Amino acid sequence: MKFCIVGAGAIGGLLGARLAMAGHDVSLVARGAHLAAIAAGGLAHRAPDGRETRLRLPASERPEDFGPQDAVIVALKAYSIAPMLGRLAGLLGPDTAVVTAINGLPWWYFHREGGRFDGSRVECLDPDGAMLRALDPDRIVGCVVHTAAEVVRPGAVHHTGGARLFVGELDGRVTPRLRALAAAIDASGLEAVVTERVRDDIWTKLIGNLSFNPVAALTGELMDEICDSPALAALIRRMMEEGIRVGEAYGARFAVDVDERLAMARRIGAARISMLQDLERGRPLELDAIVGAVVELARRVGLPTPTIDGVGALLRARAARARRA
């Protein structure tokens, strides 16, 4: 298959490298020093066991350089997606799928959702509907990534743990394009789980993100260090419980309870969580997609989220101070 990875950072770089190693035709959209290093010396992929592979892949900051694809994988930070959607047109053929391998609640969440809010917007993510207009949401395949990676230096991605990706159509069908995508992922050495209820999988990951990400950014702790701290683990538990109540109010079914979700996090190991990576590198944080959207949906149905609200307020203050520094 022909893939373009839009946002070839930690997760995007990992996916691009693994797909290319499996023999697929992969191009990368990146920018800055990371792009320069890839263009000069290729993309270095370090596996969890330490083995490193360097791949020479076409890379550009211009998605229009690569032409129509079988699939476009969007692996951008949430705040970078809106400006990019209108630039994807040159990558889109009649049957091109757009796979959103992103954190947090996606802007398309209520498209073909089937509940009482079907077709509505998540206001903090897409206040005027521009994102839904910029890309036909029927092209979208939802993707929930349960793997951890880090850009350890420009042009070098370290796969630190996890290997599962949940992929699903927004209306729950199991389509030929979904099967082809899953087969490509499986062939790369990662594991694709085809799901008929991708929003359930979004919420399962989201309750971890909305708790672990802010706590990591505020404390500087790695995933295993948070899990090993009784006080921090108790805080994480309260945030997860609040998030589960919000998800259930929108029909989400959680296949795992809080203890199991904590165990999933522990299995990832000594990972530097994405929001901590962003804070340390002076980047914006995915506050709205990971925290703000959950609070917005909670208020829409009259649910309180006191722990999420308090930690979110601390994190916004911390992010604002980092921006001023």
Catalogue the active-site residues.
205
Please give the structure tokens belonging to residue 47: 């596996």
Nearest to 305 by CA among 200, 199, 207, 220: 207
- HEC assignment per residue over 89-101: HHHEEEEEEEEEE
| DSSP result, 224-279 | HHHHH-HHHHHHHHHHHHHHHHHHHHTT---SS-HHHHHHHHHHH-S---HHHHHH
Cβ neighbourhood burial of 168 (10 Å; 0-12, 13-18, 19+): buried
Q: How far is CA 88 from CA 29, 155, 205, in A?
A: 11, 23, 27
Place of tokens 């970078």: 80
Place of tokens 């203050």: 317
| DSSP result, 128-160 | TSHHHHHS-GGGEEEEEEEEEEEEEETTEEEEE
Q: Are 64 and 77 contacting, i.e. CB atoms less than 8 angstroms apart?
A: no
3-state class (DSSP) for residue 299:
helix
3-state class (DSSP) for residue 324:
helix
